[in-house]
């Protein structure tokens, strides 16, 4: 019976969700610290953003360095809508995802006609424009003093941090299931064909611009959603947060976790955004090094690319294969 449940397609996602959702209860019982729950909250919304970028890079072969900008766009927009205009969270959530996605599609119509590092540079330029807007339009965004948001509120009931954490878990698991369906659909197969050979894809009648825009729109929507969740969990947003370094960290998440995998996004997010504050900063001597998280991420990327190019998501399967060989 247990094996049948584990074999179900979405069971691993649901099981992961149940484990993560138990963290607030474990905190109440004293098994984990409050700071650990807060760190895992950041891991969750960065995993959502990485999930979209994984589809863009892993399945369509397109590179974006503007992820942080669109994430910041979503964060500031929901802060303004809910805080300044008093719009309900659900409505704000929808608007704060749809508008950046629409802008992303307009950017995509221009920038997707170029490829490789030029596309990365174009998306980076858009991200930097957003970051400047966040800092300079202080009457709307709060400028360099930042913009405050509150925990989500549904029908007059305001969430606390623990309930917001569970909301993050629920959204992540839902998106993992939806993304799984997306990549196994005809659209996902078209993206893979396009990634392997654009000439072959065109010969098969695949509209390259159409599918590139679909992948770009999905990545932008996930980034904006991650920004919305960031704003309502962290409850504060600064312009300097949404910089190139953050975009590179999210790129590192999918490289370390594993391209073209759903679980790789959460594994990579735990390693990049969880291991440094939970483990490394508490080590003697090493924990006092400035920029330790960036050093750790950079070294790990080099190791993964050289010795484990498929990502750490496959390490469990490979360990099982080693043990099976030893038994034989």
pLDDT score of 328: 58
CB–CB of 216/100 below 8 Å?
no
Q: What are the distances in angstroms from CA 139 to CA 98, 133, 144?
A: 23, 11, 11
Between CA 162 and CA 43 the distance in angstroms is 15
Which domains does the chain possess?
Answer: 17-25+35-327 (1.10.3470)
Task: Name the E strands within 155-303.
Answer: 157-158, 236-237
Taking the chain (328 residues) in runs of 10, the rounded mean pLDDT of each run is 55 91 92 92 95 90 89 95 92 95 86 75 90 89 89 86 94 94 87 80 81 90 96 92 93 91 91 91 79 86 85 77 67
What's residue 79's pLDDT? 94
DSSP string, 21-73: HTHHHHHHTTSS-HHHHHHHHHHHHHHHHHHHHHIIIIIH----S-HHHHHHH
């Amino acid at each position: 019976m247990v094996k049948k449940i584990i074999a179900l397609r979405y069971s691993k996602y649901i099981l992961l969700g149940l484990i993560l959702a138990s963290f607030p209860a474990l905190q109440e019982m004293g098994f984990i610290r409050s700071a650990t729950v807060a760190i895992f909250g950041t891991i969750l919304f960065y995993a959502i953003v990485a999930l979209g970028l994984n589809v863009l890079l892993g399945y369509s072969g397109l590179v974006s360095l503007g992820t942080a900008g669109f994430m910041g766009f979503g964060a500031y927009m929901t802060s303004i809508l809910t805080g300044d205009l008093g719009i309900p969270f659900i409505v704000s959530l929808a608007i704060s995802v749809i508008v950046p996605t629409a802008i992303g599609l307009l950017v995509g119509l221009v920038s997707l006609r170029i490829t490789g590092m030029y596309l990365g540079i174009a998306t980076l330029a858009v991200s930097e424009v957003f970051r400047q807007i966040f800092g300079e339009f202080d009457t709307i965004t709060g400028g360099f003093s930042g913009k405050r948001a509150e925990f989500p509120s549904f029908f007059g009931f305001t969430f606390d941090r623990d309930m917001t954490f569970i909301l993050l878990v629920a959204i992540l698991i839902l998106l993992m299931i939806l993304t799984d369906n997306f990549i196994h659909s005809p659209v996902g197969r078209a993206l893979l064909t396009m990634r392997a050979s654009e000439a072959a894809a065109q010969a098969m009648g695949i509209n390259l611009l159409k599918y590139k825009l679909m992948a770009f729109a999905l990545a932008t929507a996930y980034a904006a959603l991650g920004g919305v969740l960031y704003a309502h969990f962290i409850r504060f947003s600064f312009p300097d947060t949404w910089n190139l370094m953050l975009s590179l960290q999210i790129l590192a998440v999918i490289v370390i976790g594993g391209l073209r995998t759903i679980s790789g996004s959460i594994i990579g997010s735990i390693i990049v955004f969880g291991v440094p504050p939970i483990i490394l900063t508490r080590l003697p001597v090493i924990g006092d090094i400035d920029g330790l998280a960036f050093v750790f991420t950079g070294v790990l990327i080099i190791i993964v690319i050289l010795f484990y190019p498929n990502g750490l998501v496959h390490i469990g399967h490979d360990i099982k294969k080693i043990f099976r060989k030893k038994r034989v």
